[in-house]
């Protein structure tokens, strides 16, 4: 008995094995959806999941100030800042949203040490710092004031990094298709990033120039909201704006086959 999986044929004194297909051009395998990197579960699209992860970060950021503002309107009192809502009944929404944003920012680009990945990772750490080191409450103790300093440092770093990601990294990260057919995207990314940085500059400037107006009209809360929503829109645009990858789309759409899990053809049972 001889296994069929080791079929070979003698031709002109040589043995031609099935293993000769290994020298095939990887681009040809990718076109047929046979690249090992594309071996995914049926219906799962890694490229789409990666883009959706960016969009989810944006949607969470977009929802956060809306929920906090709605709660303030219902209670008849809008807090002086987004962070001040930690001490209200929606404090868990504030902390949970920042934890989700922080973890997602850490997770989706953690495996590389490129400059854009480092910026995203630091932004994720800063978001977690904002979540776990809280702003000072009224009649704060000395330890609470020190924690509030850490909170303010993390919040400043977070907004600066998110502005930099939108202003510099996202335009450079555009695909060739986007650069050719969707040139307006880079202007949107840069405009949103510039809006974040402008809001950061206006926070201390307006407080110094018009302190009473600044406090009475919730200017700090408004500028924080602008920062968060500009960051959210840029991530949503980046997540849903990238064109899909045909190889990944094809691999995800195909029915599972004998090569789906192992990447090699399933060997038939030995024949007599």
Max Cα distance, the chain (Å): 95
Residue 49 is predicted with a pLDDT of 67
- Which position has the higher pLDDT, 243 or 197? 197
CA-CA-CA-CA dihedral for 117, 123, 126, 130, to nearest 10:
-150
84-93, 112-121, 138-147: segment of lowest average pLDDT: 112-121
Q: What is the DSSP string of 24-46?
A: S-HHHHHHTT--GGG---TT--H
Q: What is the mean pLDDT of residues 188-215?
A: 93
Compute the mean pLDDT over every residue in the chain, rounded to the nearest whole number: 78
| pLDDT value, residue 107 | 82
Asked if residues 131 and 99 have their Cβ atoms less than 8 Å apart, the reply is yes
- Per the structure block, which two tokens stand in for 7? 């079929």
Looking at residue 243, its pLDDT comes to: 46
What number of helices (H) and strands (E) belong to the chain?
A: 11, 2
Specify the pLDDT at position 100: 94
Percent of the chain with pLDDT over 90: 48
pLDDT in tens, 25-74: 444 544 444 444 444 444 445 555 667 888 899 999 999 999 999 999 99
The answer to whether 122 and 110 are in contact (CB under 8 A) is no
User: Residue 111's pLDDT is what?
Assistant: 64
Collapsed DSSP state (helix, strand, coil) of residue 10: strand
The residue among 115, 87, 72 whose CA lies nearest residue 222 is 72
CA 167 to chain centre: 15
In this structure, of 16-30, 126-140, 155-169, the range with the lowest mean pLDDT score is: 16-30
User: Cα-atom radius of gyration of the chain, to the nearest Å?
Assistant: 26
Is the separation of the CB atoms in 247 and 31 below 8 Å? yes
- Residue 47: its pLDDT value, please? 53
Chain Cα centroid distance, residue 222:
24
Q: What is the mean pLDDT of residues 85-100?
A: 95
DSSP 44-105: --HHHHHHHHHHHHHHHHHHHHHHHHHHHHHHT---SSSGGGGGSTTHHHHHHHHHHHHHHH
- Predicted confidence at residue 52, as pLDDT, reads 83
Q: What is the mean pLDDT of residues 244-267?
A: 46
Q: For residue 120, give Cα distances in angstroms to 50, 68, 88, 99, 116.
A: 14, 25, 29, 14, 6
pLDDT computed for residue 162 by the predictor: 95
Judged against a pLDDT cut of 80, whether residue 269 lies above it is answered with no
Q: How far is it, in rounded angstroms, from Cα 265 to Cα 19? A: 12
Report pLDDT for 239: 85
Separation between Cα atoms, residue 87 and residue 151, nearest integer Å: 14
Cα–Cα distance, 177 to 97 (Å, whole number):
33
- In sequence order, which residues have a C-beta less than 8 Å from that of residue 13 and are 6 or more positions away? none
pLDDT at 79 over 60: yes
């Amino acid at each position: 008995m001889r296994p069929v999986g080791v079929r070979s044929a003698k031709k002109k004194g040589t043995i031609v094995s099935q293993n000769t297909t290994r020298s095939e051009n990887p681009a040809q395998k990718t076109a047929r959806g046979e690249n090992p990197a594309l071996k995914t579960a049926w219906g799962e699209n890694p490229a789409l999941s990666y883009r959706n992860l960016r969009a989810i970060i944006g949607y969470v950021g977009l929802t956060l100030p809306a929920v906090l503002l709605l709660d303030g309107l219902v209670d008849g009192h809008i807090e002086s800042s987004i962070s001040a809502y930690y001490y209200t009944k929606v404090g868990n929404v504030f902390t949970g949203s920042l934890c989700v944003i922080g973890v997602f920012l850490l997770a989706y680009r953690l495996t590389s040490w490129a400059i854009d990945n480092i910026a995203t990772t630091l932004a994720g750490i800063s978001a977690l710092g904002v979540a776990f080191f809280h702003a000072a409450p009224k009649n704060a103790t000395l330890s609470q004031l020190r924690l509030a300093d850490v909170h303010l440092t993390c919040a400043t770093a977070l907004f600066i990094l998110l502005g930099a990601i939108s202003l510099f990294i996202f335009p450079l990260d555009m695909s060739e298709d986007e650069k050719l057919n969707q040139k307006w995207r880079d202007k949107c990314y840069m405009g949103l990033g510039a809006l974040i940085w402008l809001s950061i500059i206006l926070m201390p400037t307006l407080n110094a120039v018009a302190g009473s107006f600044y406090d009475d009209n919730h200017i700090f809360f408004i500028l924080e909201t602008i920062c968060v929503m500009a960051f959210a829109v840029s991530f949503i645009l980046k997540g849903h704006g990238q064109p899909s990858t045909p190889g990944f789309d094809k691999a995800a759409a195909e029915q599972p086959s004998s090569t789906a899990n192992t990447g090699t053809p399933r060997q038939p049972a030995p024949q007599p």
